[in-house]
Homo-oligomer: A and B are copies of this chain.
Amino acid sequence: MGSNPSQPIDYQQLCKFIASCFEAAGVNSEDASVTAKLMARADLMGQDGHGVFRLPQYIKRIASKGINVKPDIKLIEERKATALLDGDNALGHLVMSRAADLAIEKAACTGVAWVGSRFSNHAGPASLYAMMPLKKDMIGIYVAVGSANHLPPWGGTEMLLSTNPIAIAIPSANNPPIVLDMATTVAAYGKVKTAAQNGETMPEGWMIDREGRPLTDPARAAEGFLLPIGGPKGYGLSLIFGILAGTLNGASFGRDVVDFNADSESVTNTGQFIIALDIAAFTDVSGFKQEVDDVWAQMKSSPLLPGHSEIRLPGERLAQVTQQRTENGIPLSPSLLSELAKLADELGVNHIV
């Protein structure tokens, strides 16, 4: 391990490290590079639970033949504005960047496009893909079936549903893009894990136990389940996102979902979809972006509730963190750096620092 584990890591350095690990694990250099850039970008965006933090898990899965490093990602259904990709059990980043490119290409002609995936895998944070259409002045929407079930249907106790996140990204003129990236549960499971690591108590409303009582000790998380936002509404969203991203694509949903934390071997058959919506199909692009700036200014101008110091827009913090980390590097915890050093030794590649 390097001499100063608390020193932030440069984005390029992180890309290089991740790519070298993938290559050592048998991924070809182009796929390794594409995946590494997307994972490092997740860290750059502040999505710490979805970037290099996942690398040891992905490598373990590759070693267990749970991910195919020589995939043939195929277009298996296509219409003018839709497509379905079979990811051939590739790294999810490869499948979903292909899906995003295809959606953008189609939407440039048809105005909107919806591209789904089957036999994909965990692909990192939802916002990564929802933001891809922004570069072409398009709005992006991304939904995934989560990679482990954490909640029952409303009123039940069998964990048949995942947090099934949605991300939506909308460009503005002079402000950061508006980017909502949310689980359909009050708390994402990563927040529970973080609370457990830090020995913190969870607020009531995050989880309940099998008797329906509030569960606030994150060390007891296995005894309960996450609560959906708005009770039955969040349950409905999780269910419907699961059908649209999973069932419709011939991907896993419900009892079929493989808990990829517990099982590194079984094919997950993860399903996702992305929508690209071309703003120019509806209105003048620069005028629209100005209007989004005006929406931004309106929200910011609201008087504050007691106890609040500012109004935030979805995506505002993401943009701030991205800028900070681009300038100053990406901070990685000593425990993560130590885990990555161990991984590097196992794979016979250079340490990150």
Question: Which of B178, B240, B302 is the one whose CB lies under 8 Å from A168?
Answer: B240
Residue numbers of A with Cβ under 8 A of B are: 77, 79-82, 84, 109-114, 116, 139, 152-158, 160, 168, 170, 178, 180, 182, 186, 208, 210-212, 229-230, 232-234, 236-237, 239-240, 242-244, 247-250, 253-255, 275, 277-279, 281-283, 288, 291-292, 294-295, 298-299, 301-308, 310-314
> A287's closest neighbor in chain B, by CB?
B250
The 3 closest A-B pairs by CB, nearest first: A229-B230, A82-B111, A156-B302
Nearest CB of B to A79, in Å = 3
Instruction: Give the residues in chain B near A254, CB-CB below 8 Å.
Output: 294-295, 298-299
Q: Contacts A82-B278, A239-B299 given: A283-B77 contact, CB under 8 Å?
A: yes
In the assembled complex, the Cα of A160 lies from the Cα of B313 at a distance in Å of: 13
Nearest CB of B to A313, in Å = 8
Report yes or no: B186 in contact with A155, Cβ–Cβ below 8 A. Answer: no
Report yes or no: B229 in contact with A154, Cβ–Cβ below 8 A. Answer: no
Report yes or no: A247 in contact with B79, Cβ–Cβ below 8 A. Answer: no
Report yes or no: B212 in contact with A306, Cβ–Cβ below 8 A. Answer: yes
Report yes or no: A160 in contact with B299, Cβ–Cβ below 8 A. Answer: yes
Instruction: Give the residues in chain B near A113, CB-CB below 8 Å.
Output: 81, 112
In the assembled complex, the Cα of A294 lies from the Cα of B254 at a distance in Å of: 10
Nearest CB of B to A74, in Å = 14
User: Could you write out 6 A-B pairs with CB less than 8 Å apart?
Assistant: A82-B111, A155-B305, A160-B299, A182-B233, A229-B233, A239-B314
Report yes or no: A81 in contact with B84, Cβ–Cβ below 8 A. Answer: no
Instruction: Give the residues in chain B near A307, CB-CB below 8 Å.
Output: 212
In the assembled complex, the Cα of A306 lies from the Cα of B212 at a distance in Å of: 7
Report yes or no: A155 in contact with B306, Cβ–Cβ below 8 A. Answer: no
Report yes or no: A178 in contact with B243, Cβ–Cβ below 8 A. Answer: yes
In the assembled complex, the Cα of A275 lies from the Cα of B81 at a distance in Å of: 12
Question: Which of B139, B186, B281, B298 is the one whose CB lies under 8 Å from A255?
Answer: B298
In the assembled complex, the Cα of A239 lies from the Cα of B312 at a distance in Å of: 12
In the assembled complex, the Cα of A180 lies from the Cα of B243 at a distance in Å of: 12
Report yes or no: A109 in contact with B82, Cβ–Cβ below 8 A. Answer: no
Question: Which of B156, B275, B288, B306 is the one whose CB lies under 8 Å from A299?
Answer: B156
